[in-house]
A and B are shown apart, each in its own frame.
Chain A
Amino acid sequence: MGDKRASVDEMVAELRPGMTVGFGGWGSRRKPMAVVRAIVRAGIGDLTVVSYGGPDVGLLCATGLVKKVVYGFVTLDSIALDPHFRAARQAGTIEAMEVDEGMFYLGLLAAAQRLPFLPTRAGLGSDVLRVNPELRTVRSPYGDGEELVAMPALVLDAAFVHLNRADTNGNGQILGPDPFFDELFLGAATRRFVTAERVVAPGALLDEGPIQTVTISRLLTDAVAETPGGAHFTSCPPDYDRDESFQKNYAGSGADPEAWNAFSDRYLDVDEAGYQEAVRQAAAAAKSQSAQAAP
């Protein structure tokens, strides 16, 4: 049986400019951020990004690597809006496909099931149909004759998800409360990449949690990489919560070019080990500052 271990840089080396790439997670939760950072380092651009959007979308917009975003929302959860996505939309530098969250889900499901579309009521009567003139409706062939939205398959060239655990064969485990749509992102993609907080030997996932937590089977995985802190600064429970102080710093980096350059120099112009070290230093500095401030 194949050992699917690879490095994040090897995964990202399979991307080409112009590809359509999906990212798992939701908002600022369990996002494959180590992968996003590696894409930024590699400078692979002209991407169509498909995401329940969070700082994955924002960082790729900020670094000019995005041609188009497919989304239902982009949010940082505890901070409502991502400044870099907003800036790119307001400057008109990116294309957009904005759909209802449920339409988005059906688009991934259709792709995973090799269907051209799935029907839904969601979208009827809304401006989602006006701003996406390529969307079509379909009439039920049965007696009801209802006219429904035909949500097209969101077919991905590549998908990345970040999980709590995986094994070397590519089975993946989610120990947090919500699997989100990760399984569907992988199912919708030609190349399927899993990163995890820890990669264990085949069979050892059941030492970590019950079989129901192993929702990603190796049928859905081409390569797997161990990336501790790989979702930072987004949340990855039970391994860690969102780093709210870092997220504030990230959101603040949208204020002006100077703030962005400072953020970028410190956290993006370094490799992943350098990033994690910079994060540790920032946390230590914040801690010593708050200790000094205490009475």
Chain B
Amino acid sequence: MTEVTRAEVVAVACAEAWRGDGEIVASPFGTIPALGARLARLTFEPDLVLTDGEAALMANTPSLSADRSEFVLEAWLPYRRVFDVVWSGRRHVMMMATQVDRYGNQNISCIGDWAQPKTQLIGVRGAPGNTINHTTSYWVPSHSRRSFVERVDMVGGVGYDRAGAAGPAAQRFHEIRVVISNLGVFDFETPDHAMRLRSIHPGVDVDEVVEATAFPLAIPDDVPTSRLPDADELELIREVLDPTGLREKELPS
């Protein structure tokens, strides 16, 4: 068996984000999060609900490169109904973040001043409503001081400090569970919910993570290494869920 790649470690870290979630919608954005959600469903979270990327829920767990004709649909979920799911809390989304800060505020709206941005991105999308209604995680494929920033330019996804300041209605269902990057896994399990290094991926050292982060991270004395896929998981990743290697395109080895 060839050596486990960084993309495969990240796929497992993404799968782990949904551990314990049970029968809720897992909404991954990005290739490796999609792989992770499917891996979780085929292993330790069999009740997870997955969408087909259009207007339906999917009963089977096809590969990332599968044609739509291979999808077995189980229920209708058009965009308008998605809000019933979001606002009832039966969802854990893993969005991407162009910028994320120390307290888990996220930005995919624009770079620079919102009034006349230097770079217009897609817009806040559902991030404000997601973060305030159900569990949210983030995937950042390129960890640097430009993505892990002191302060995001536009708060779409709401972090712990902002949810706290906005009062009980904002905090009630708020949870930013993990941020996963190409270097490591991060959580907010600190007294003031400041970002903590939860694990580093094999081959990464702590200094590298610190150097690539524009704010001080909470770093435990012993930083664990992100776990490797076991033999079954590796087979599922390589043979069943991503036989064409799309994961390596998103995160080249």
A residues adjacent to B (C-beta < 8 A)? 26, 53, 71-75, 80-81, 85-86, 89-92, 98-103, 105, 120-128, 130-131, 146-148, 177-181, 184
Contact = CB atoms under 8 A, between A and B. Distances in A.
B246 interface: no
Closest 6 CB pairs of A and B: A122-B129, A73-B123, A125-B166, A126-B128, A146-B169, A92-B116
A179 B78 contact: yes
Which of under 10, 10 to 19, 20 to 34, or 35 or more describes the interface residues of B?
35 or more
Nearest to B159: A125
B116 A126 contact: no
Q: Of residues B110, B129, B131, B172, which shows the largest number of chain A Cβ atoms within 10 Å of its Cβ?
A: B129
Given A146-B172, A147-B169, A180-B78, 10 more contacts: A73-B125, A74-B122, A81-B122, A90-B118, A100-B124, A125-B163, A125-B165, A126-B128, A178-B78, A179-B78
Given A126-B127, A131-B154, A81 B78 contact: no
A99 B124 CA distance: 7
Contacts of A105: 80, 83
B126 A125 contact: no
Contact of B128 (A53, A81, A103, A184): A103
B79 A75 contact: no
B229 to A, nearest CB: 29
B55 A148 contact: no
Contacts of B116: 89-92
B185 to A, nearest CB: 24
14 contacts: A26-B79, A73-B124, A89-B117, A100-B129, A101-B129, A102-B129, A121-B129, A123-B132, A124-B170, A125-B128, A125-B166, A126-B155, A177-B55, A177-B76
Contacts of B127: 100, 126
A73 B163 contact: no
Interface string B142-166: 0000000000001111100011011
A126 B80 contact: no
Contacts of B173: 121
Contacts of A147: 167, 169
